[in-house]
A = this chain, B = another copy of it.
């Protein structure tokens, strides 16, 4: 039987065992397991890596625990603004959207951009107009509304701080810092998936709800091909999560591919160089998941934790949260 494999992440950041309730931990693990199994089911029945990463990311988008799709955080204006991207390693086709709202599954919109438009990257109201034409599923504001996310916004607004993805507030306001530490569920960020199918093709997908209290239409790395997402059968498929600005400046996802293609590094060594050397040197906190055409999987992070799971060729499901 030919190999297949999948890995997913539900965000990296300050995720500590000491601040996580057993109930929360169980819920996260359950959410990760559902997503990995959704992707795995497609791969094990001969489906494509592209279908598998989309299915896995949709599960994570549908789960309000994760900051993507339902559960997306609120901007300063009290809106959801979501980003996503997808790339097919077989032909280097890619699709991405930024600044969208009311789309139930942003990853499916990215895929529609890739497959049904002449473009790679659409933004804002124009992207939503395209989604309507493509008859994608919309959902009302209430669907996306999660009380806890809204409370996060009110909290963040009070201190006028943006909450970057899933990290602690970079604030000297210790009162708020403490409040954040008491609600570890408020720190989840970007979700993503990478997969290898039995046909030897790999793909990557990333989706995010951005950051709480964000202003100015900030775009992170998630919809940026090369930064947050990249896939190429010759090297690897990568989905990133973390402090997006640094991942953009490092062109992180494509850098791993280049280190493999041009410098001959293994997936493991390339991931190590980008996550533990280059990003650390720049000051960029986060992690990523990566897969190569041999089915090797890496899930490195330089933050305190990263929600993650993987499964190879129907073997044991691995689920991890902390840095141990």
What separation, in Å, do the CA atoms of A117 and B218 have in the docked complex? 10
For residues 210 through 262 of chain A, which have their beta carbon under 8 Å from a beta carbon of chain B?
215-220, 224-227, 230, 244-245, 248-251, 254-255, 258-259, 261-262
What separation, in Å, do the CA atoms of A75 and B297 have in the docked complex? 43
What separation, in Å, do the CA atoms of A230 and B258 have in the docked complex? 15
Q: A251 to chain B: closest CB distance in Å?
A: 4
Contacts of A230 in B (CB 8 A): 251
Q: How many residues of A are in contact with the other chain, CB < 8 A? A: 44
A88-100 vs B, CB cutoff 8 Å, 1 = contact: the mask equals 0000111000110
A263 contacts the other chain (Cβ, under 8 Å)? yes
Contacts of A123 in B (CB 8 A): 98-99, 123-124, 217-219
**Smallest Cβ-Cβ distance to A219: which chain B residue:** B121
With A120-B245, A224-B224 as given contacts, are A215 and B126 in contact (CB-CB < 8 Å)?
Answer: yes
CB of A249 within 8 A of CB of B94, answer yes
A130 contacts the other chain (Cβ, under 8 Å)? yes
Contacts of A224 in B (CB 8 A): 121, 224-226
With A225-B227, A226-B226, A258-B258 as given contacts, are A218 and B122 in contact (CB-CB < 8 Å)?
Answer: yes
A8 contacts the other chain (Cβ, under 8 Å)? no
A151 contacts the other chain (Cβ, under 8 Å)? no
Contact partner, A226, options B218, B227, B245, Cβ 8 Å? B227
CB of A248 within 8 A of CB of B215, answer no
With A224-B121, A225-B248, A263-B263 as given contacts, are A216 and B130 in contact (CB-CB < 8 Å)?
Answer: yes
CB of A248 within 8 A of CB of B121, answer yes
CB of A127 within 8 A of CB of B216, answer yes
CB of A119 within 8 A of CB of B245, answer yes
Contacts of A218 in B (CB 8 A): 119, 121-123, 126
CB of A262 within 8 A of CB of B258, answer yes
Can you list the 5 inter-chain pairs with the closest CB atoms, starting with the nearest? A126-B217, A258-B258, A262-B262, A226-B251, A123-B217
Given contacts A119-B245, A127-B216, 13 further A-B contacts (CB under 8 A): A92-B249, A98-B123, A99-B123, A121-B245, A121-B248, A122-B216, A123-B123, A124-B124, A129-B215, A225-B249, A225-B251, A255-B258, A262-B263
Binding site for B on A (CB under 8 A): 92-94, 98-99, 117-127, 129-130, 162, 215-220, 224-227, 230, 244-245, 248-251, 254-255, 258-259, 261-263, 282
